[in-house]
Amino acid sequence: MLKLWGRVNSSNVKKVRWACAELDIPYERIDAGLHFGVNNTDEYRAMNPMGLIPVIDDDGFVLWESNAIVRYLCAKHPRAPFWPADLRVRGAADRWMDFQQGTMGPALGPPFMQLIRSPEQEWDLDMIRRNIARSSEIWQIVDQQLGRTKWLAGDDFTMGDVPLGILAYTWMELPLGKVGLEHCRPKLTNVWRWYDQLQSMKNYRDIVAIGLT
Ligand SMILES: N[C@@H](CCC(=O)N[C@@H](CS)C(=O)NCC(=O)O)C(=O)O
């Protein structure tokens, strides 16, 4: 059976769990990361030299990098429309996955790490302000896309909605009021509509919307 290492509250582990749920892939999960440890052992680093979660072991094939794992699982257990059969739709889905890793994640990750994972006395307010303002701008790009299409890659829910769908939960739940930045989270019509669509999905509620801490 597929093995997955990673704690359930990690946004990158959520991607893999959500994909497994959409594709009906059974798996065994081993808690790892933060207070669970495991990811700093030599054994774990032999699987993933980055020492990060998630990692999967599929019958001896070890893979890390969450978006690569989602694509691997989709290709192995193809199910449209989640893994789009049309290459152009798949390309669009890929684009939004990469956009999460390369653009939204680097903006939203640092303030998340401070506001959720660090004590208040360690907060760097200038960095938080800068990164939240940048995240807000990036959500406007997502909003423009969602003004044109129901889901990020087109008419259907696909793997392309997974990485940003998870960060949408982070964005909506981040306690911006605590640092006087609530105004940086304007009610973007299309993002909010898409977020409602996500919230209406059982897998999203069970796997993603389970709290940030
Ligand atoms: N680019 C990597 C990033 C992985 C990553 O940063 N994982 C975080 C959790 S979301 C981690 O391992 N943090 C250390 C820990 O939990 O101990 C991926 O997408 O898989």
Looking up residue 137, the CATH number of its domain turns out to be 1.20.1050.10
Nearest CA to ligand 1 atom 15: 33
Atom of ligand 1 nearest to the CA of 10: 10
Contacts of residue 56, defined as CB under 8 A and 6 or more positions apart, other chains included, come to 2, 3, 4, 5, 16, 27, 62, 63, 64, 69, 72, 73
| Within-domain flag for 142 | yes
Residue 13: Cβ-neighbour burial (10 angstroms; 0-12, 13-18, 19+): buried
Give the pLDDT confidence score for residue 65 in this predicted structure: 98
* Residue written as token pair 């996500």: 198
For residue 31, how far is its CA from the centre of ligand 1 (angstroms)?
13
For residue 10, how far is its CA from the centre of ligand 1 (angstroms)?
7
| Within-domain flag for 96 | yes
Contacts of residue 113, defined as CB under 8 A and 6 or more positions apart, other chains included, come to none
- Residue to mutate (ligand 1; options 47, 53, 213; most atoms within 8 A of CB): 53
The neighbouring-strand residues paired with 5 are: 30, 55
Give the pLDDT confidence score for residue 126 in this predicted structure: 98
Confirm if 156 and 81 have CB atoms less than 8 A apart: yes
38 and 110 together in one domain: no
Domain extent, residue 118, equals 87-208
163 and 191 together in one domain: yes
- Residue to mutate (ligand 1; options 10, 56, 117; most atoms within 8 A of CB): 10
| Within-domain flag for 213 | no
Nearest CA to ligand 1 atom 9: 10
58 and 145 together in one domain: no
For residue 125, how far is its CA from the centre of ligand 1 (angstroms)?
23
Confidence of residue 130 (pLDDT cuts 50, 70, 90): very high
Strands (E), the chain: 2-5, 27-30, 55-58, 61-64
Q: pLDDT tens, 22-45? A: 999 999 999 999 999 999 999 999
Of 46, 76, 106, the one marking the end of a domain is 76
For the whole model, what pTM was predicted?
0.98
Confidence of residue 4 (pLDDT cuts 50, 70, 90): very high
Q: pLDDT tens, 69-115? A: 999 999 999 999 999 999 999 999 999 999 999 999 999 999 999 99
The kind and range of the H/E element at 53 are none
Nearest CA to ligand 1 atom 16: 33
